[in-house]
Amino acid sequence: MPTVIEGGGAAAGLRFAIVRSRFNEEVTKRLLEGALDALRKGGAREETIDVVLVPGAFEIPTVASRLARSRRYDAIICLGAVIRGETPHFEYISAEVSRGIARVSYDYGMPVIFGVLTTDTEAQADARSGVGGVNKGYEAGQAAIEMANLMKRLVALPKPTRRGAGTTTRRPARKRIR
pLDDT digit string, tens, across residues 99-143:
999 999 999 999 999 999 999 999 999 999 988 789 999 999 999
Class of domain 16-155: alpha beta
Span 59-95, pLDDT tens digits: 999 999 999 999 999 999 999 999 998 888 999 999 9
| 75-83: strand order across its sheet | 49-54, 16-21, 75-83, 112-119
Per-residue pLDDT at 177: 63
CB-CB neighbours of 174 under 10 Å? 6
Span 12-36, pLDDT tens digits: 999 999 999 999 999 999 999 999 9
Distance of CA 98 to the CA centre of its chain: 11
User: Domain map of the chain by residue range?
Assistant: 16-155
Q: Clarify whether 24 is annotated catalytic.
A: no
Q: Give residue 169's identity as a one-letter amino acid code.
A: T
pTM: 0.87
- Give the whole-number percent of the chain exceeding pLDDT 70: 91
Catalytic residue among 45, 69, 72, 89: 89
Buried b (16+ CB within 10 A) or exposed e, 157-168: eeeeeeeeeeee
DSSP state of 129: B
